[in-house]
Structure 1
Amino acid sequence: MKFRILSLTFVALIVSACTSKEFVLEATSPNSDISVQFNLDKEAQAFYITNFKSEVVIDTSYLGFEFTNASPLKNDLKILNSQISTFNDTWQMPWGEQLDVVNNYNELKIELQESKSPNRKFNIVFKVYNDGIGFRYEFPEQENFTEALIADEHTQFNLTQDYKAFWQPGDWDIYEHLYSTTKLSEINALSYVGHVNLAQTYIPENAVNTPVTLVGDNGIHLSFHEAALVDYSDMTLKVDTENLSFTSNLVGSENTEYKVRRTLPFHTPWRTVQITDNAPALIESNLIVNLNEPNKLGDVSWFKPMKYTGVWWEMHLDKSSWDYGMELVDGQWKDTGKAHRRHGATTENVKRFIDFSAENNIGGVLVEGWNTGWERWIGFEDREGVFDFITPYPDYDIDEVTRYAKEKGVQIIMHHETSAATETYTKQQDTAFALMQHYGMNAVKTGYVGKILPKGEYHHGQYMVNHYNNTVEKAAKYQVAINAHEPIKATGLRRTYPNTISREGLRGQEFNAWAEDGGNPPEHLPIVAFTRMLAGPIDFTPGIFNIKFDEYKKNNQVNTTLAQQLALYVVIYSPVQMAADLVEHYEANPEAFQFIKDVGVDWETTKVINGVVGDYVTIARKERNSGNWFVGGITDENSRTLTLDFSFLDADANYTATIYKDGVNAHWDENPLDLEITTTTTIDAQTELVINLAEGGGFAISLIKN
């Protein structure tokens, strides 16, 4: 069902300056819990205030811009018009955490103009939802203002208490930092400078990346982010620890004085604040996707959500390598017949993964290291032209592999590591995507490890935002879906371009295999679920069964129990979920692997049963078409006991439940493989179940409808 209600109220105002006592524009959420007030102060500078259940959560916060080609745009403003409208619609996700999405908000649009020369005009638009607010700037076409060279955007978020903050630094080049948990007043992003585990990093000041989530003493939860990031720079938030404030700080470039260059007319991305009084509501919010434009691609049924295996984890364990072992001869890289025999992407090895996937309800196989170039990109300053994305190594027969995969009903997932050489990749995309189309490959994992080329650009600046988005649009023409690593952050564009299926954009599983600081601590994912996951799907690569991997790396391990690795297939959302471990480790534990075989990847409904940011979370998801439910719960380094209420199940149905939970002696470090599996046929909507989670542990439940 779709319906739309629009009611318009126009107020014509000619105001040179006013105070909040003289005039206030206001919009409220449909349920009246959230309100936004807009006004001009005595200097005719625009500001807003946000309330939640009659309490001020964002106090007087100013709005404005600095330009390199013009004077600042922030004061001496007048309100020309205001417009209030109401919108209520329901749209469907072609794939996602749920099928139907309600898009219901009240909108306030304010048209502003400078009261002195050059009399520039711009609009501010607020959309107020039951789960938060979004607002953006719009610059209409006008004679005296044709191009904006934005030095910075000054959007303030002045907070009213010293919240507990879950944050990572405002790095212009990478999101692969651990999260810190401090008071807002204690944020120190510069303490992250010089991280040894990162291929690239640049942290210019005390700022945080988004999403950043705050929890107040009074139970108010706020999460700051942005939506619909198109042809603009990533917004970090500069922190004023003394005044408890965030101010937008755009990612720049070493090649220009400005951070954003736009020709009018244009609008900025939406600045978003999720506002709730409980942690689970943050995850259930659809604010970010709702603030994006509807699907522009039409039918995308050619992409099927899937689980996948692949040639990946074995390289991080040093069991095999990405490169084949070609040698530099007379200035050219050649196969001299002296390959080191550690290459992972061989025809034989990939067929082994294809066989395993076909036997175990797994739809895809990722192949990394299949194409030439891996010998010569790490450590080389000029990486342009290193990879060509169509030429396989001598021991990888792409014709035979794709033929065999098709015969087995398995799709090969392409891999394009660009080495951050963007010009090379841009030039070859048509050829590379055409090759994929020829072989019937509908998904590619892209990578951008290293400093961006051309030099002086950063992963999160306007140049790269455009590169990432242009790649998605180009891929769609060839029916290719993008799973980006070292990406620009997710901002809900998967609604507009549903071939944007997943991305990394966080400190992933691989850090457990090679990081020098001990890998991801047990608290990492209970924080990620309420921060990074609010932005969109995560390709985290769960499912490591060999937790200690002593035969490969005695000093590294995964810092969870086996039960938590199973739970992640439900807790951490992605329409592509990797069974990341080695085939032999799954074959050695078929009882635990049964959950990975059974669990869905595409959902009709999602319910967050409980959770506390940074501590624990339990999520239930109903699979599309089958009617089966799957539940996953994880905890941090603390053990805990949870009572599960199954009232989310269909009221008149019974389910056979298989429960995978921590054994009585389980512990993420001391005994991570202690797993207890039980089956019961008596679960229904009236059932309550008490489950104990070990330190760093979790549980997973499959609920198959009888």
Structure 2
Amino acid sequence: MLLLTASYQAAAQARAPLTARQDKVSLQFALAPDGRPSYAVFYGPKPVILPSRLGLAFADGKGFDGPLVLLGSEVTEVDDTWQPVWGEVRSIRNHYQQLTVHLRQPAATGRRLDLVFRVFADGVGFRYEVPAQPSLAYFTVQDEHTEFNLPANHKAFWIPGDYDSNEYTYSTTRLSEVNSAGIEAIQLKSAPRRVQTPLMLRSDDGLYVNLHEAALVNYPALMLNVDPKTFGLSSQLVPDASGTGAKAYLQAPEHTPWRTIVVADNAPAVLASKLILNLNEPPKLTDTGWIQPQKFVGVWWEMHVNKASWNYADTTNLKLADTNWNALKSNGHHGANTANVKRYIDFAAAHGLQSVLVEGWNVGWEDWANNWKEEVFDFVTPYPDFAVAELQQYAQGKGVQLMMHHETSSSVTNYERRQPAAYRFMQEHHYAAVKTGYVGRIIPRGEHHDGQWMVNHYVRTARLTADHRLMVDMHESVRPTGLHRTYPNWLANEAARGNEFNAWSSGNPPEHETILPFTRLMGGPMDYTPGIFQIKLDDWNPARNKGRQVHTTLAKQLALYVTMYSPLQMAADLPEAYEQHLDAFRFIEDVAVDWDDTRILAAEPGDYITTVRKAKGKDEWYLGAITDENARAQSVKLDFLTPGRQYEATIYADGKGASWDQNPMAYQIRRQQVDHKTVLKLLLAPGGGAAVSFKPAGK
């Protein structure tokens, strides 16, 4: 009788949904007559998410996927402001209404689940919380039954839901047309209708919707399966290596990451959203003064354009512990040699860049790729031509720091064993930051880059580097979910198709950089490695680079320093490329990497973006405008400038006849006096852009 009463009460409550609201965004929660929970989201009168299922399935068959009964609920409101250690703005408002729904299984054990919804003015975040309880301690999540049922066949900007890579170009189709069957897989053959998050959507009635997650910790990444007939999206978690289909091994009390829905009636508002950051925890570091956003150059691009190599010798089939590395014969084109690194240090010092990245400095590169080896690198033994102590002293004497590189070859167990010694080595030689890499198939064998095991590794690495007062930049990792708020030493990730693909593949199409801010960058900064000046790559190695080029103009490469946010920005080209265009390189010298204010002046995913940012602690503004393959004219109001003050605008623009494919290196630089009433006219070439600095006149 008690169970019947509870079911009757749940059915009655389902007829009167629980609600939460913030400005135009509203959420409804209901229990269906069969006890299955669901939610819906609206933007004003427009449906964003139609009633959609919620639930967790456990390996023991006793998960929270229905039936459930309602124990109670409460609504609270939070409105506060916090200051990021670094970021796009000086302060962030965190204003939401929270609906917490307490649910119970109607069985005798009465296991409990809380659903927590936070409704912001720009969207919704929700997660599952399993409280501490006598009847549930350890549990295995087999599946998550989160759905996002969309009201129409939206335009979608998507990449395949590959468990091991995000390094794809974006497809732009209707949801009904999503199909990756014809796309060459990078790591794992993806299910044809599975897509990665963040997923960007645009409705025909004027809504922009972004689906992602926040605070991904101790859980696999979320991907989405697309139903082409109903336009419904269902969650797909990355499985573990057991072969049982298990996704996450958890112990109560525990919670999932937040599922996020950013919604607005204009594209710039999506880029301005701080919803994902607000759903992450405050910094776990009490002392953050040593964390320094910065620009750097590095021994890196010359390997991608086949001018140098990572490996010291051309011998293969070597073993880390048994090889006499000093006895190897040099191949004569090893990039990370002492003299070459000094050249980069000199360039950085001359142009005010803080660091020099060096890849290929450590033994093991002769036999690292595609062999699924356990022990490839030890991260402390340099090649014979890389003088660690000498370069340390040389860099310090020039006021420059060296940046460490740890390519793990995805032998993550090996890296974890060696991390303490590697980070001590960094401290002893005054390295302040490390770039990690995870190229290849993961060891432990069978685990995925985006599964629970690796997600925990990335977080452990952020914690361990913080313990050693080191900054970290992770490549080939899971895409970010705002954890740089919690671990501000975690400066950037790659986790997408970066600029490097222009060097050894079909490249990135001109629209690529106009989509990434709406997708990959929603979760956090990207180390995209902009600043390529030698657009045509034949000049570096005609035999191996024939026909290859970067698919932008030179001016667009400058604009990316503003439109593609990161506190860690690389001047990615070779010093000799910059020395031919030092007038254009001045923008890279000047542009900030930490900001007091950011404004998205114009944007449309896949088409164009114009962004302006105010440098931290200065009355200087920097603007970037980029376009896809189409030429565009931009009229930019400068009403963000301080009224009554004159500024000198230095405009780095596409030159006459410029285009990404035929004439990519044509640019022009002009200066003019402006104030807050000025309307600036910018002409963007096909695949082009413009970069502008605004400094108070007379300074």
Band of TM-score, shorter chain:
over 0.9
1:162 is aligned to 153
Determine whether 1:602 maps to 2:594: yes
2:476 is aligned to 486
Q: 1:402-551 residue pairs with structure 2 within 5 A?
A: 402-515=392-505, 518-551=506-539
Q: 1:8-407 residue pairs with structure 2 within 5 A?
A: 16-18=9-11, 22-29=15-22, 32-192=23-183, 194-195=184-185, 198=186, 200-204=187-191, 206-257=193-244, 258-325=246-313, 327=315, 332-334=322-324, 335-381=326-372, 383-407=373-397
Question: Which amino acid is the alignment partner of residue 387 of structure 2?
Answer: D
Alpha-carbon distance between aligned partners in 1 of 2:172 and 2:86, rounded to the nearest angstrom: 33
Q: What TM-score, normalized to structure 2?
A: 0.96
Question: Which amino acid is the alignment partner of residue 308 of structure 2?
Answer: S
1:4 is aligned to none
Alpha-carbon distance between aligned partners in 2 of 1:511 and 1:129, rounded to the nearest angstrom: 37
Kindly state the Cα deviation for residue 189 of structure 1 after the two structures are TM-superposed. 2.9
Question: Which amino acid is the alignment partner of residue 330 of structure 2?
Answer: A
Question: Which amino acid is the alignment partner of residue 189 of structure 1?
Answer: S
8 Å CA contact retained: 1:127, 1:133? yes
Question: Which amino acid is the alignment partner of residue 516 of structure 2?
Answer: V
Cα distance change on mapping 1:609 and 1:330 into 2, 3 Å: closer
Cα distance change on mapping 1:312 and 1:556 into 2, 3 Å: same
Question: Which amino acid is the alignment partner of residue 228 of structure 2?
Answer: T
Aligned Cα RMSD in Å?
A: 1.4
Kindly state the Cα deviation for residue 21 of structure 1 after the two structures are TM-superposed. 6.7
Q: Greater CA deviation, 588-597 or 250-259?
A: 250-259
Q: Greater CA deviation, 332-341 or 692-701?
A: 332-341
8 Å CA contact retained: 1:157, 1:245? yes
8 Å CA contact retained: 2:335, 2:360? yes
Cα distance change on mapping 1:265 and 1:21 into 2, 3 Å: closer
Question: Which amino acid is the alignment partner of residue 694 of structure 2?
Answer: L
Alpha-carbon distance between aligned partners in 2 of 1:373 and 1:214, rounded to the nearest angstrom: 44
8 Å CA contact retained: 1:17, 1:43? no
8 Å CA contact retained: 1:327, 1:336? no
Kindly state the Cα deviation for residue 330 of structure 1 after the two structures are TM-superposed. 9.1
Determine whether 1:568 maps to 2:560: yes
Kindly state the Cα deviation for residue 102 of structure 1 after the two structures are TM-superposed. 0.6
Alpha-carbon distance between aligned partners in 2 of 1:622 and 1:444, rounded to the nearest angstrom: 28
After superposition, the C-alpha distances for 1:551-585 in whole angstroms (9 at most, x for unaligned) are 22122100100110010011101111000001001
Kindly state the Cα deviation for residue 438 of structure 1 after the two structures are TM-superposed. 1.6
SS state at 1:473 partner: helix
Kindly state the Cα deviation for residue 19 of structure 1 after the two structures are TM-superposed. 5.4
SS state at 1:702 partner: strand
Alpha-carbon distance between aligned partners in 1 of 2:316 and 2:86, rounded to the nearest angstrom: 46
Cα distance change on mapping 1:50 and 1:330 into 2, 3 Å: closer
After superposition, the C-alpha distances for 1:62-106 in whole angstroms (9 at most, x for unaligned) are 101212123342222111110100001111011111110111101
1:588 is aligned to 580
Question: Which amino acid is the alignment partner of residue 310 of structure 2?
Answer: W
SS state at 2:182 partner: helix
Alpha-carbon distance between aligned partners in 2 of 1:206 and 1:564, rounded to the nearest angstrom: 33
SS state at 1:469 partner: helix
Cα distance change on mapping 1:617 and 1:412 into 2, 3 Å: same
1:7 is aligned to none
Kindly state the Cα deviation for residue 205 of structure 1 after the two structures are TM-superposed. 5.0
Question: Which amino acid is the alignment partner of residue 214 of structure 1?
Answer: L
SS state at 1:86 partner: strand
After superposition, the C-alpha distances for 1:390-430 in whole angstroms (9 at most, x for unaligned) are 01000000111111111111111100000000111001111
Alpha-carbon distance between aligned partners in 2 of 1:323 and 1:93, rounded to the nearest angstrom: 40
Kindly state the Cα deviation for residue 254 of structure 1 after the two structures are TM-superposed. 3.0
1:8 is aligned to none
Question: Which amino acid is the alignment partner of residue 589 of structure 2?
Answer: K
Cα distance change on mapping 1:127 and 1:413 into 2, 3 Å: same
8 Å CA contact retained: 1:97, 1:606? yes
8 Å CA contact retained: 2:165, 2:495? yes
8 Å CA contact retained: 1:326, 1:333? no
Q: Greater CA deviation, 110-119 or 442-451?
A: 110-119
Kindly state the Cα deviation for residue 532 of structure 1 after the two structures are TM-superposed. 1.0
After superposition, the C-alpha distances for 1:502-552 in whole angstroms (9 at most, x for unaligned) are 00011011110001xx21110111111211111110100001110002122
Alpha-carbon distance between aligned partners in 2 of 1:230 and 1:337, rounded to the nearest angstrom: 43
2:658 is aligned to 666
8 Å CA contact retained: 2:538, 2:546? yes
Alpha-carbon distance between aligned partners in 1 of 2:315 and 2:161, rounded to the nearest angstrom: 40
Determine whether 1:650 maps to 2:642: yes
After superposition, the C-alpha distances for 1:31-61 in whole angstroms (9 at most, x for unaligned) are x200001111111111111110121111110
Question: Which amino acid is the alignment partner of residue 453 of structure 1?
Answer: I
Size of the aligned set, in residue pairs, is 684
Unpaired runs of 5+ in structure 2? Answer: 1-5
Kindly state the Cα deviation for residue 241 of structure 1 after the two structures are TM-superposed. 1.0
8 Å CA contact retained: 2:86, 2:567? yes
8 Å CA contact retained: 2:316, 2:367? no
2:691 is aligned to 700
Question: Which amino acid is the alignment partner of residue 529 of structure 2?
Answer: T
Cα distance change on mapping 1:590 and 1:328 into 2, 3 Å: closer
Alpha-carbon distance between aligned partners in 1 of 2:317 and 2:116, rounded to the nearest angstrom: 61
After superposition, the C-alpha distances for 1:327-365 in whole angstroms (9 at most, x for unaligned) are 469964334352111100011101100000011011110
Q: What TM-score, normalized to structure 1?
A: 0.95
8 Å CA contact retained: 1:14, 1:80? no
Alpha-carbon distance between aligned partners in 2 of 1:118 and 1:402, rounded to the nearest angstrom: 63
Kindly state the Cα deviation for residue 439 of structure 1 after the two structures are TM-superposed. 1.9
Question: Which amino acid is the alignment partner of residue 635 of structure 2?
Answer: T
Alpha-carbon distance between aligned partners in 2 of 1:330 and 1:456, rounded to the nearest angstrom: 25
After superposition, the C-alpha distances for 1:267-309 in whole angstroms (9 at most, x for unaligned) are 0000000000111111110011100011110221212111100
SS state at 1:103 partner: strand
Alpha-carbon distance between aligned partners in 2 of 1:398 and 1:324, rounded to the nearest angstrom: 15
After superposition, the C-alpha distances for 1:445-497 in whole angstroms (9 at most, x for unaligned) are 00000000111100000010001111110110000111000011100011111
8 Å CA contact retained: 2:316, 2:366? no
Aligned-pair identity (%):
45
